[in-house]
Structure 1
Amino acid sequence: MSDQLKDREKKDQAGTDHQSHHARMVADFRRRFWVSLILSLPILVLAPMLQQAFGYEGLIAFPYQNYVQFGLATVVFGYGGWPFLKGFFDELKKSQPGMMTLIGLAIAVAYGYSSAVVFKLPGRMFFWELVTLIDVMLLGHWIEMKSVLGASGALEELVKLMPSKAHRVTESGDTEDVPVSALKKGDRVLVKPGEKIPTDGVVAEGRTSVNESMLTGETKPVEKGDGDELIGGSINGEATVTVEVQKTGDETYLSRVVNMVKEAQRSRSRAQDTANRVAKWLTLIAITAGVGTLVVWWYFAGRDFNYSLQRMVSVMVITCPHALGLAVPLVVAVSTTLAARSGLLIRDRTAFERARSLQAIVFDKTGTLTEGRFGVTRVVSLGDLQEDQVLRQCASIESHSEHPIARGIVAEAKQRGLDYPAPKDFEAIAGKGAQARINDRSVKVVSPGYLQENNLHVDDDRLLQMAEAGNTIVYLLVDDQVEGALGLADVVRQESHEAIARLKRMGIRVMMLTGDSRAVARSVAQELELDDYFAEVLPEQKASKIKEVKGRGLTVAMVGDGVNDAPALAEADVGVAIGAGTDVAMEAADIVLVRSDPRDVAAITQLARATHSKMVQNLWWAAGYNAFAIPLAAGALFPWGIILPPAVGALIMSASTVIVAINAKLLDRKKPALQGDHDDSMEESRPS
């Protein structure tokens, strides 16, 4: 076996082990919770405080019942409390006291003191507070781990998309089943209807439709024919195709997506740093407030040690930053996987956070706001022919040409449902157009330069308007008489109109950057109602234009799709690559949008704002309640008869943890808004 295959298998195994580890942790907390809860029930029934509270004091009494409570509590403390005790010692070894320190200290003090009371030390037992504290903490951790596992589950599912076997075509034309890991570039594989594409490649033979919804978020099957790219993990439709392997292993699109999502989930962010600073301060507050509460009640207020200890335990429990450790990471996990499912790949968390405060977005024109292909904008009759007849004659000539202008004319005729006759004696006119015979008449489709060379003059205001709008104009000549003209321009994406409107409603200024002429840029800018545009910009000048916009005091995003956009993507506060077709775009951008759909730029901004909102909410739920709970736990309302037992303190703290977990998962409700009405297939990105 080659080293490459061994490395691939090791990585696959690592991914499986990582998933299994999380699953085992969930199962472990679930098991510890249920065992501890069952053992806690007799302790609760025997607790004197609860007997008094519920009026059955003296009804349940038997010899050595304190020892029974001690035995049951010891099991709960040792088995249920072990994860917290282990974390307590781990934090002490690292000299980084935190959440586990607080929990471990609280249950150790409660157990140690209560055990001493069982063995004749004067005082009151805290066994029921101890076991309920452990039960609630275990429940909170169980829910937390399930939430984290659920948030990461979609990422792990991406790995499972890849099939394990492939039908490789041999030199004799037969097929052999081989592991996908054994495929190499240039191999050909047969993919039958309903099977998954084994790895990235191109269609070598056949035509089919492919379901890429799990990868790109698109629900509509994408038509694929000779030479079209296929993504490993997508599902073949109705026909058998032969696929030539282009990429394997970590080079594949799916592997890059998985690595990007993992990188984003691991990357630190400003919000995470804020949460860590808050957690550190809460740890110091918990220890200081806990010890201070003990001293005040015991020494200054003259209360007994038991009561003072209870107040200390309550304070340390309520101040524990348990939920704070979940507040930001869970939102990050949910938002990153949600974005990946929707075709929004986050490479830099800090840049993603900046996207929420964008004030200006600069779009590259060609292939981003436009489709990067010529389309007919206007048909003008200059003689006896009707407009459809002009287009039909032009399409007949251009049907034998592969020029981009020719393809645009033919596409327009097909879109209008026009049939055109086959030309005879087709001949290209070097640099000027083409000619042929149609219905025994000489027909030419030529450029303005041909008219000038042959002293043919056309004076029509409609042509002047098309020229001022930056249109490319071609003329139809029939028997050397000008019969009509077509205006062509780079076609503006239909999605661009909606994208610009959404961004403006969000209060963001929208601009365009292009190397095209001022007339072309002005036409597109007017059609889309842009706030500003930069025309005739050379590739090496794009970064300086972004710097110029930043110089206006604006937080700027650059959206591009080509190699020459890389410097501008890096210069912007947020670089967005639209269309994941080029490796350069993937590497230069902070965020990669899988679809060539500018509406996703608005979607990523909306997601950034929603994510930040959830983080702020979670930080408040995780830490904000301390301003109320710490004084209450310390006994500030004791003169009014209000006290807070440790178990209630644990319940309040764990309730914040549950709320934080649920609140983060509610970010999933943003998914339909993110995907919108995207019905277009994923397109290849085109250079500007």
Structure 2
Amino acid sequence: MVADFRKRFWISLALTVPIIILSPMIQNFLGLGESLRFIGDLFISFLFSTIVFFYGGWPFLKGLYDELSKKNPGMMTLIALAISVAYFYSSVVVFGVTGKIFFWELATLIDIMLLGHWIEMKSVMGASRALEELAKLMPSEAHKLMEDGSVQDVPLDELYLGDRVLIKPGEKIPADGKVVEGKTSVNEAMITGESKPVSKKEEAKVIGGSINGEGSITISVEKTGKDSFLSQVIDLVQQAQESKSKTQDLANRAAFWLTIIAIVSGAVTMFVWLALVHQDFAFALERTVTVMVITCPHALGLAIPLVVAVSTAISARNGLLIRDRAAFEASRNLQAIIFDKTGTLTEGKFGVTDTVILDDKLEESKLLAYAAAVEQNSEHPIAKGIMNSVEKLIKVTDFKSIPGKGAKGKVEGKEVMVVSPGYLRENNIEFQQNGKIDKLNAQGKTVVFVLVDGELQGAIALADIIRPESKKAIARLKEMGIQTMMLTGDNRQVAEYVAKELGLDDYFAEVLPNEKADKVKEVQSRGLIVAMTGDGVNDAPALAQADVGIAIGAGTDVAVETADIVLVRSNPEDAVDIIALAKATYRKMVQNLIWATGYNAFAIPLAAGALSVYGIILNPAMGAVLMSLSTVIVAINARILKVKK
């Protein structure tokens, strides 16, 4: 359609040049007098104008038929009526009826309307180009590893589940899968919005369309075609852009009534100039045509869809996927947001939070290094948490597990034990009561003790690590005036500690998965508009109950049926970004609606000739320029929409 409008515009513009040259009014205006007049010039002008009317004006004439057949007159009706009245009246004048010829106004009017539509469609396509860009992310071929060990380049549609694919440095990953060999870092920015390269080693998941970094890797294909992450994202973006919002319905109703007002205004204008002011028919007709052109609700019709297209494209580029536009728009009015704790506000895995030295003989770093050395042979979450706290592991010998109590081993010639408080009690190992350890226990943290050569040296506290982004997210939400709450199945001490650390307004502890929806209802019963943010699996009932359900950290599984909005990354700040985007989107919609309706309120009297006593008279072509200008302003305003971090 963009190409069609472009072609019609250039052909119509070429034909407009002789029409303007042959126009008596333009010749007089340029002071050429009768020098360019010749026998049959009006018929040539009529011929060129007929081509412009039927060829250039065809989209509008067809639009008139479509709108009237649906009993929904709109902007195409107004344009088609305006050009039809100008064309048929001028044609009768050519063939003998006394009057004024409007051929040059007709041709320039059609040119400007075609140009306006061309610009508008380019704007809409530019805003919707996120889909094209996403589709372009996929490479055309993949290096498939054959059974005999050879590598064969195959098209993507010949990849199947379980196939092994080699990805060289700098290449695009051809399918969703799991790394089975090699180590690298992957740029997932275009898909998830994550700016830093993500390191990948064996067993790590990779997303088709992301860009491999410095290392060669072999992946096993897990998802292809419509099941792939990228395809799901494209489907969600398409659904969101095609879905109509409540604000869109308001704009559509306003456009319908504006069309009715324009037709009535045109009729009233004609009546006033003919019957009351006693102007000639040509002048009255010109005013009527100008009214109908200038009041085309073009800007109004574009005000909302273009903002929708831009906001959806922005959200997709940032890993914020909108499934339900109505819920997305509702998120601008949120008064409270409830976060699931584990995996949302926290990382969902044990990590060292505190180290307490009970004997000044050992430094903190040494205490952790000794403990990590002993724990490196254990698969326990606590052991993994301690190991992850050090950069390099020291060698351990004579490792022995103490069932239910801890582990021990030889590290740098010393016997090191990492044990539970129960082991100390059973073996009557006393330590000076330390207020720090009591405080850690009160926070619900897991505390283990480290003994070196039988002497108690210190303690290590572990807990589910709070994400560094969580604190920023909560602070930003408070700035917006939104209450922040947390749901968790953990005990009250842990919940209280996390709530205090983050500065939450409220929390609910020891909540079973089937009770989460009831807690959301409880918050809603306070008269608050509530969003629930969780991982989308055990939080499904709560996500469905909330006014806005936000699935966070969906990773490669974006098909979260119960959520209204899906956030690809496990970053609570993305939940704040989606609210900020909803507010910014609504502001743009309102600005566009105010401009589009305000412009018409000003333009109608001007087009009708209210200022003609001051010599200010608009012709239809100038009316078309102003109408197109209002459309361009609305388009530009929509395109400058941004996510404010």
Is the structural similarity TM-score above 0.5?
yes
Q: 1:500 aligns with which of 438, 461, 474?
A: 474
State the partner residue of 1:436: 409
Task: Work out the CA distance in 1 between the residues paired with 2:626 and 2:170.
Answer: 51
Cα deviation, residue 287, structure 1: 1.6
How far, CA to CA, are the matches of 1:210 and 1:583 in structure 2? 18
Instruction: Please list, as runs of the form range in 1=range in 2, the aligned pairs for 1:310-321 lying within 5 A after superposition.
Output: 310-321=286-297
1:56 CA displacement? 4.4
* Residue 574 (structure 2) aligns with: 600
Amino acid corresponding to residue 392 of structure 1 in structure 2: A
CA distance in 1, matches of 2:513, 2:618: 67
> Structure 1 residue 613 and structure 2 residue 613: aligned?
no
Counterpart-to-counterpart distance in 1, 2:525 and 2:423: 46
Alpha-carbon distance in 1 for matches of 2:640, 2:556: 34
Q: Residues 509, 59 of structure 1: CA spacing in aligned structure 2 closer, same or farther, 3 A cutoff?
A: farther
Would the aligned equivalents of 2:229 and 2:556 in 1 still touch at CA under 8 Å? no
SS at match of 2:496: helix
Q: Does 2:370 align with 1:393?
A: yes
Give the SS at the match of 1:323.
helix
2:596 matches 1:622:
yes
Against the structure 1 CA distance between its residues 93 and 473, is the aligned structure 2 distance closer, same or farther, given a 3 Å change threshold? same
CA displacement at 1:164 relative to structure 2: 2.5
Segments of structure 2 that go 5 or more residues without pairing to the other structure are none
> Separation in 2 of the partners of 1:125 and 1:438?
102
Return the alpha-carbon distance in structure 2 between the equivalents of residues 648 and 621 of structure 1.
Answer: 19
2:20 matched to 1:47?
no
Counterpart Cα distance in 1 of 2:638 and 2:412: 69
1:37-436 equivalent positions in 2, closer than 5 A: 37-383=13-359, 384-414=361-391, 421-436=394-409
Conservation of the 8 A alpha-carbon contact between 2:145 and 2:164: yes
Structure 1 residue 601: Cα displacement: 1.5
CA distance in 2, matches of 1:274, 1:420: 64
Unmatched tracts of structure 1, length 5 or more: 1-24, 675-688
8 A contact 1:577–1:585 mirrored in 2: no
- The 1:289/1:238 distance shift into structure 2, 3 A limit, reads same
**Compared CA separation, residues 642 and 568, structure 1 to 2 (3 A):** same
Secondary structure at the aligned position of 1:186 is classed as coil
Q: Matched residues in 2 for 1:666 and 1:252: separation?
A: 31
Q: Is the 8 A contact 1:563 1:582 kept in 2?
A: no
The structural deviation recorded for 1:457 is 3.8
What is the TM-score with the length of structure 2 in the denominator?
A: 0.96
Contact 1:471 1:487 in 2 (8 A): yes
Higher alpha-carbon deviation: 654-663 or 304-313: 304-313
How much does 1:440 deviate?
4.6
Which amino acid in the other structure matches residue 181 of structure 1? D
Deviations along 1:310-349, whole A, 9 cap, x unmatched?
Answer: 2221111122112222111111111101110111111111
Q: Structure 1's 612 and 180: CA in aligned 2 closer, same or farther, altered over 3 A?
A: same
Amino acid at match of 1:327: A
Counterparts of 2:40 and 2:47, CA distance in 1: 11
Matched, 1:659 2:633: yes
3-state DSSP class of the match of 1:363? strand
- What is aligned with 1:10? none
Match of 1:513 in 2: 487
Deviations for 1:374-432, whole angstroms, at most 9, x for unmatched residues? 22121112234333332222112112212221122122222xxxx65422221222222
The CA distance in 1 between the partners of 2:18 and 2:62, in whole Å, is 26
Question: May I ask how many residue pairs the two structures share in their alignment?
Answer: 643
Amino acid at match of 1:553: G
Indicate the percent of aligned positions where both proteins have the same amino acid: 62
1:449 aligns with 2:422: yes
Letter in 1 for 2:60: F
Q: Which amino acid aligns with 1:393?
A: Y
CA distance, structure 2, for counterparts of residue 653 and residue 62 of structure 1:
36
1:447-469: CA deviation from partner (whole Å, max 9, x where unpaired): 12222333334421111111112
How far, CA to CA, are the matches of 1:562 and 1:315 in structure 2? 54
Q: Which moved more, 1:117-126 or 1:536-545?
A: 536-545
Question: Partner of 1:591 in structure 2?
Answer: 565
Give how far 1:129 is off.
1.5
Q: CA deviation at 1:137?
A: 0.3
Q: Does the 8 Å contact 1:167/1:178 carry over to 2? A: yes
**Superposed, which structure 2 residues align to 1:464-475 within 5 Å?**
464-475=438-449
Deviation of 1:304 after TM superposition, in Å, equals 2.5
CA 1:585–1:124: 2 relative to 1, 3 Å: closer
Q: Is the 8 A contact 1:202 1:228 kept in 2?
A: yes
